[in-house]
Chain A
Amino acid sequence: MKIIFLSWFREILRRPTLTILSIVGVALGIATVVAVDIANESAKRSFLAANETISGSTTHRFTGRITDELYRHLRVDLGLDVTPVVEGLIESDRSNTTQLRLYGVDLLAEISASSNYAWREVSIESAATLLSNPFTVLATRDTANSLGWSVGQEIPVSSADGDFKLTLIGLLEPANPLQAQSLRFVLLTDIATAQSVLGKQGYLSVIHALFDDSVQINSIEAFLPDGVYIESQIGQSDSQAALTRAFQINLTALGLLAFMVAMFLIYNTTSFTITRRQRHIGMIRALGALQRDIVLCALLEVLIIGAIATIIGILVGIQLSTFLLELVEQSIATLYFPIFADITVLSFVTIVKAIMLGIGATILLALPAIRKISSTAPSIAIGRSQVETQSTDSGSKLFVIGCSLAVLGTLVLLGNQHSIVLGFFGIFLVVIGYLQLIPLMTEGLKRLLRPIVKRIFGVQGVLAIRAFSSRPGQTSTTIAVLCLALSATVGVDIMVSSFRQTVDEWLISRLRGDIYITTPSQSDSGLASVDVELLENLEGIASFGLAKWAEIPDASGTTTVFAVDYGENAFNGFQFKKKADVDLWREFNAGAAIVSEPYAYRNSIQIGDTVDLFIGRKSVQFPIIGVFFDYSSDQGIVAIHRDTYIRHFNDRTISSAAIFAKPETDLQTIADTIEQRVLTPRARVWRNQELHDASMQIFDQTFAITYVLRTLAIIVAFVAVLSALATLQIERERELVVLRTIGFTVRQNWSIASFETGVMGLLAGIFSLPAGILMAWLLIWVIEQRSFGWTMKMQLDPLILIGAVTLSVVAALIAGAIVTWRKVRKVPAMALQGMD
């Protein structure tokens, strides 16, 4: 037995390249899965930790227009366990990365509270110091360092309310890395300072509360003034986590895609590594090795490959994850709100997953080949004829399997209209089903190509085509691997480019104003009235409109309301998916609402339904007359006329203004004038094009990670093709040598080999197009609709399709060139004898 093992593993050392390639391929696949897993998990943790650190483990929170007096009443008169927060974003010249979050708390209340607040560990002396020294703050060392801020130093900051100077009087020392990251760019201060800097004197942003069962929420709600709401915290963090879930599922799916490619690679390489041994196996069996010994040796080899690849995969994955995490962070920040996920969380589950995939899947995928080789009689194995020829699944059998999988996938897709996970599962089934058809299609195309090739390339071309058709199983697996990776690329590219185009068109249609003024969303006061007067009196302006973005409570939380009065022309910029058969503009003016597509999707809303919003404890119904396309929020928005909004909510503040210039006026001059004269702090003036470009930039940032994962899948595929071709070429070696001996030159052999791989690349490229388009269509139809509620128009960019085919051919040629480099130069006599 020992001798059999030695002999077996000696054989590995004889050809290490293939083994190394299989390890690299599997490792890359695992690395991708691990990296995506870590990035997802870390992002989620920091997301939840950020909430937890700041609000502690509270049960409820009060939001809305909270006065100091309401807080006093809750804490002093009712003796409830509540703590106040005044928070907002401020800017510092020192921070080139992001805004700072000024977080005002009453540390004395936090210390007194019985609940487990994050600041509980702050010493009473620190609390007293902060309290007695206005305009002082605490920050973590990280934050201070990134601002170049040392203790005792004063730095200027600006808020929506003006310019201030804050002094860092001490460093927060977080208890753990999670807390450290959630405190990044947070300046902790006393509530008095926060009120003053943020211009919120007399008001609080939030009251956190820890209520036990004895507290009657109903009785508290009964005395809450209009505009103040109490909500359960427990549900809150769940729904916030759900925000990112859709995003994370998208990532996971892309990671799995990369792994699926890797699995094909594993299947490919294991079957090659084993079949290439047929001669060796035949020999050792002839020498007395048992079938059992062969199976054991083969299993052990696969196990070792799987184990090494798993270890490398996990290590590489950890490295890769830090890079991915940055992108995830960026996307979440763009889509939702800033998180700082610096800590990579390598969970036990991730490791188990990697081991299961790396070792489990590898062994599983190797089993068919092992079974085949071990059952081959020694005499056949030793003989020169190919094992391959006698044992591939017939095309028709694969056709049946493929069609069944595709049908099953379609059924899954149709069966459940809302689940994202099932959506992906369905897509995978359909795509895998399609891949089963590749041998059949290869055969068909080959027949089609042969006469053409013969005419153009002569005997070399025919030899090349014949060469790979003599091993249909191996060639089609290689083609399938490349095809899968390419179709993923094509699918993702088409999806993203369609989305990009849709958003681009939407922006152009929606942004009808020539110039926009926007104010920071945290500013309560909005655009100052003097600035509205400025617009009224400015030359060159034909008209202008005002709008307000507001968060209004509804039955289940809050609704984003866009109260707009940009005029009829701008209203026509709304593109409707569905609309009532009425004069929309007139009804909109009269008090009706239109809702965005995600809003309608999330709330299952039809034309004729109503939007229920709360004013105090009363609810008001707004009839819905249209569902418009909108890509600004995946949570959905409700648009009403600003007059309607003012009538119901009595709020005249302005978030933004759209300015329509007179024809033939110089927009830049007007924009510059407004910019110079506008008085609202931190108001921004945008020309139409700038706003459009900024929005598209955000879009591209969001999808940066998608491109990265797609590239990873291609790299894995490239390795897969490389290894597949390497094995193929090892078997082809003899044929090429025979060709050399009968007079073919090195150059001719080279071109036969290149032609062969080139054709494989071409076929993979061609096959990937329908699969890619199918995948894009499914992604758009299933995932984006389900995750975000967005409809996208699919756009087929010919460049993407041509690019995919080119990529495929080039990749195959490069891979072919690498593996045939040595082979074609071999001295015929040595190679014929099977010597290296």
Chain B
Amino acid sequence: MASIRPAIFAVICVLLVTAALWNFYSPDPPELESSNLSISEDILQLDNQTFALVRGPREFNFPNDHGAHLEFRSEWWYFTGNVFTSNGEHYGYQFTIFRQANGESKIKTHSDWESNHIYMAHMALTDAANNKFYSDEIFARGAAGLAQVVASPFSAHVDHWSATGRLINDCTGCMALNIRAEGDGFAIDLDLKSIKPVVYQGDRGFSQKGNSPGNASHYYSLTRMETKGNISVRGTIEAVNGLSWMDHEWSTSALDDQLVGWDWVSLQFDDGRELMYYQLRTEDGKAFETSEGTLVDENGGTERLIKEDVEFNSTRIWTNPSTNISYPVAWTFQIPHKNLSLEIEPMIDAQEHDNIFRYWEGAVNVVGMEGTKRIVGSGHLELVGYE
């Protein structure tokens, strides 16, 4: 009898410990610890050969070329501008529609929702007076009426963000547009009207980006568009006036493998001229040989600028404390043979689009000298590919 009692207690103890271990120390399956949903994509083989390549200059034809070029993989319609309230408060804005196509599948669903075109729209507003930057993005498929770009009458929309307009008779490709979009906490409703003719960037709108044939885009701009309308920030609506710039560019393959990003700037000067310049960056941070730009005179005449014509250098780095990415937000731009020297400063430093696609793009002020003539203006700077 005496030997049984300890045995009973021992058994109870063992049972208790086993039960405790069983319940509290069994590890969760490892896959549950991951915090997001993702898919593995290496098994997909899309047909990328079906897209057209940009191999040389083309004859532009409006209004059709304002619309989408679905035979090419990527395309964007870019609207940027600087607008002012009657009190002189300065706002920068950006509204962009991107189209990106995936290879088409051979199997069809016979559903109106099927599409291999994905549209993305970005909008941003810089409130200089309050040192605030707002940005938002949306996505939609190019089907079921959710997103599309139609040339005539011009209508581009992604969900309920839209740019609609018409051609203006007196100049080829010139447009009057309304841009309307509502992001998280801010909105724009602006009327744009081009007051200068279409500028064909690069070689007659053929913009060579990489060295390989086909690594190029078709690219034209409406560099000066009178802008008026309303912006609203956190429920306050302000009437504004100013200038906008429109870019439209499409390609299938643009960057060579060694290129990691680009720094792009568009400037509108008070003297009626505009400047666009981009430099493509290689992995070692140097400007690639195909970097180029255009100087537009008061009447719309253009002068092509190649890499050797300019000195484009950053003067200040800003690091976003939340993403820890550093961007060269201030620059000097010089065209030595014209004796032109510009200093480009952001309206505010914090103009990073911290969304799914992360980049820095924002309104800038520019001051400088051309010989002894003082130059003032504003514009937009885009910094892509920084990590």
| Known contacts A72-B145, A76-B157, A311-B16, A171 near B39 by CB under 8 Å | yes
A68's partner among B107, B109, B112, B137 (CB-CB below 8 A) is B112
* A111 and B356 contacting across the interface, CB-CB below 8 Å: yes
Q: Is A125 an interface residue (CB 8 A)?
A: yes
* A195 and B111 contacting across the interface, CB-CB below 8 Å: yes
11 inter-chain pairs at a CB distance below 8 angstroms, sorted by A residue, are A71-B144, A121-B35, A122-B38, A129-B44, A134-B109, A152-B43, A169-B44, A170-B38, A175-B35, A192-B112, A192-B115
Q: Roughly how many angstroms separate A111 CA and B111 CA in the complex, as a whole number? A: 21
Q: Is A529 an interface residue (CB 8 A)?
A: no
Q: Is A180 an interface residue (CB 8 A)?
A: yes
* A180 and B32 contacting across the interface, CB-CB below 8 Å: yes
CB distance from B292 to the nearest CB of A (A): 31
What residues on A are CB-neighbors of B39 within 8 Å? 122-123, 126, 129-130, 138, 169-172
* B113 and A119 contacting across the interface, CB-CB below 8 Å: no
* B36 and A133 contacting across the interface, CB-CB below 8 Å: no
CB distance from B26 to the nearest CB of A (A): 11
What residues on A are CB-neighbors of B287 within 8 Å? none
Q: Roughly how many angstroms separate A130 CA and B15 CA in the complex, as a whole number? A: 50
Q: Is A663 an interface residue (CB 8 A)?
A: no
CB distance from B140 to the nearest CB of A (A): 5
CB-nearest residue of chain A to B102: A132
* A315 and B44 contacting across the interface, CB-CB below 8 Å: no
How would residues 188 to 206 of chain A score, 1 for a CB under 8 Å from any chain B CB and 0 otherwise? Answer: 0011110110000110000
A residues 232-273 in Cβ contact with B at 8 Å? none
CB distance from B164 to the nearest CB of A (A): 12
Q: Is A176 an interface residue (CB 8 A)?
A: yes
* A111 and B37 contacting across the interface, CB-CB below 8 Å: no
What residues on B are CB-neighbors of A129 within 8 Å? 39, 41, 44, 102
| Known contacts A124-B356, A126-B38, A202 near B139 by CB under 8 Å | no
What residues on B are CB-neighbors of A106 within 8 Å? 113, 141, 146
A108's partner among B22, B31, B32, B118 (CB-CB below 8 A) is B118
Q: Is A109 an interface residue (CB 8 A)?
A: yes
| Known contacts A141-B31, A173-B31, A192-B109, A109 near B38 by CB under 8 Å | no
* B40 and A170 contacting across the interface, CB-CB below 8 Å: yes
How would residues 633 to 644 of chain A score, 1 for a CB under 8 Å from any chain B CB and 0 otherwise? Answer: 000000000000
B residues 95-118 in Cβ contact with A at 8 Å? 100, 102-105, 107-116, 118
CB distance from B324 to the nearest CB of A (A): 21
Q: Roughly how many angstroms separate A192 CA and B385 CA in the complex, as a whole number? A: 34
CB distance from A770 to the nearest CB of B (A): 40
What residues on A are CB-neighbors of B108 within 8 Å? 134
* B44 and A133 contacting across the interface, CB-CB below 8 Å: yes
What residues on A are CB-neighbors of B32 within 8 Å? 174, 176-177, 180
CB-nearest residue of chain A to B160: A79
| Known contacts A20-B8, A312-B16, A173 near B36 by CB under 8 Å | yes
Q: Is A836 an interface residue (CB 8 A)?
A: yes
How would residues 68 to 100 of chain A score, 1 for a CB under 8 Å from any chain B CB and 0 otherwise? Answer: 110110011111000000000000000000000
* A109 and B140 contacting across the interface, CB-CB below 8 Å: yes
* B160 and A108 contacting across the interface, CB-CB below 8 Å: no
What residues on B are CB-neighbors of A311 within 8 Å? 16
* A201 and B110 contacting across the interface, CB-CB below 8 Å: yes
Other than A108-B141, A135-B107, give 19 A-B pairs with Cβ distance below 8 A.
A71-B144, A109-B140, A109-B159, A111-B139, A121-B35, A127-B139, A129-B44, A131-B118, A132-B102, A133-B44, A134-B105, A169-B40, A172-B39, A173-B34, A192-B113, A192-B114, A196-B111, A315-B23, A319-B23
What residues on B are CB-neighbors of A138 within 8 Å? 37, 39
Q: Roughly how many angstroms separate A141 CA and B28 CA in the complex, as a whole number? A: 14
What residues on A are CB-neighbors of B138 within 8 Å? 112
Q: Is B184 an interface residue (CB 8 A)?
A: yes
What residues on B are CB-neighbors of A191 within 8 Å? 111, 113
CB distance from B386 to the nearest CB of A (A): 19
Q: Is B5 an interface residue (CB 8 A)?
A: yes
What residues on A are CB-neighbors of B115 within 8 Å? 131, 192
How would residues 594 to 606 of chain A score, 1 for a CB under 8 Å from any chain B CB and 0 otherwise? Answer: 0000000000000
* B38 and A112 contacting across the interface, CB-CB below 8 Å: no
A13's partner among B5, B36, B103 (CB-CB below 8 A) is B5
B37's partner among A13, A119, A135, A190 (CB-CB below 8 A) is A119
B residues 147-182 in Cβ contact with A at 8 Å? 157, 159-160, 182
What residues on A are CB-neighbors of B37 within 8 Å? 119, 121-123, 126, 138, 172-175
B residues 69-112 in Cβ contact with A at 8 Å? 100, 102-105, 107-112
* A121 and B36 contacting across the interface, CB-CB below 8 Å: yes
Q: Is B10 an interface residue (CB 8 A)?
A: no
* A190 and B46 contacting across the interface, CB-CB below 8 Å: no
Q: Roughly how many angstroms separate A122 CA and B37 CA in the complex, as a whole number? A: 5
Q: Is A400 an interface residue (CB 8 A)?
A: no
Q: Roughly how many angstroms separate A77 CA and B15 CA in the complex, as a whole number? A: 66
A residues 301-326 in Cβ contact with B at 8 Å? 311-312, 315-316, 318-319
Q: Roughly how many angstroms separate A69 CA and B146 CA in the complex, as a whole number? A: 10
- Please give the residue numbers on chain B whose beta carbons come within 8 Å of chain A beta carbons, in ascending order: 1, 5, 8, 12, 15-16, 19-20, 22-23, 28, 31-32, 34-41, 43-44, 46, 100, 102-105, 107-116, 118, 137-141, 143-146, 157, 159-160, 182, 184, 356
Q: Roughly how many angstroms separate A311 CA and B108 CA in the complex, as a whole number? A: 60
Q: Roughly how many angstroms separate A202 CA and B111 CA in the complex, as a whole number? A: 7
Q: Is A151 an interface residue (CB 8 A)?
A: yes
A112's partner among B19, B114, B140, B143 (CB-CB below 8 A) is B140
What residues on B are CB-neighbors of A173 within 8 Å? 31, 34, 36-38
B139's partner among A124, A196, A319 (CB-CB below 8 A) is A124
* A79 and B41 contacting across the interface, CB-CB below 8 Å: no
Q: Roughly how many angstroms separate A318 CA and B24 CA in the complex, as a whole number? A: 11
CB distance from B385 to the nearest CB of A (A): 18
| Known contacts A135-B109, A151-B43, A192-B111, A108 near B144 by CB under 8 Å | no
CB-nearest residue of chain B to A123: B38
* B38 and A76 contacting across the interface, CB-CB below 8 Å: no
Q: Roughly how many angstroms separate A77 CA and B146 CA in the complex, as a whole number? A: 10
CB distance from B4 to the nearest CB of A (A): 9
A residues 102-126 in Cβ contact with B at 8 Å? 106, 108-109, 111-112, 114, 119, 121-126
Q: Is A360 an interface residue (CB 8 A)?
A: no
Q: Roughly how many angstroms separate A68 CA and B8 CA in the complex, as a whole number? A: 71
What residues on B are CB-neighbors of A333 within 8 Å? none
Q: Roughly how many angstroms separate A175 CA and B32 CA in the complex, as a whole number? A: 6
CB distance from A267 to the nearest CB of B (A): 23
What residues on A are CB-neighbors of B41 within 8 Å? 125-126, 129, 169-170
CB-nearest residue of chain A to B20: A315
The 5 A-B pairs of least Cβ separation, nearest first, read: A170-B39, A79-B160, A132-B102, A196-B109, A192-B111
Q: Roughly how many angstroms separate A111 CA and B182 CA in the complex, as a whole number? A: 16
Q: Roughly how many angstroms separate A175 CA and B184 CA in the complex, as a whole number? A: 26
What residues on B are CB-neighbors of A131 within 8 Å? 102, 115-116, 118, 141
CB-nearest residue of chain B to A78: B160
| Known contacts A311-B16, A315-B19, A112 near B105 by CB under 8 Å | no
* A134 and B114 contacting across the interface, CB-CB below 8 Å: yes
Q: Roughly how many angstroms separate A108 CA and B114 CA in the complex, as a whole number? A: 13
CB distance from A84 to the nearest CB of B (A): 9
| Known contacts A126-B37, A129-B39, A132-B105, A315 near B113 by CB under 8 Å | no
* A133 and B146 contacting across the interface, CB-CB below 8 Å: no
CB distance from A454 to the nearest CB of B (A): 39
CB distance from B15 to the nearest CB of A (A): 8
What residues on A are CB-neighbors of B22 within 8 Å? 319
Q: Roughly how many angstroms separate A43 CA and B104 CA in the complex, as a whole number? A: 44
What residues on B are CB-neighbors of A72 within 8 Å? 144-146
CB-nearest residue of chain B to A174: B32
Q: Roughly how many angstroms separate A278 CA and B373 CA in the complex, as a whole number? A: 115
Q: Is A128 an interface residue (CB 8 A)?
A: yes
* B23 and A79 contacting across the interface, CB-CB below 8 Å: no
- Residue from A16, A76, A78, A174 having most chain B Cβ neighbours under 10 A: A76
What residues on B are CB-neighbors of A76 within 8 Å? 145-146, 157, 159-160
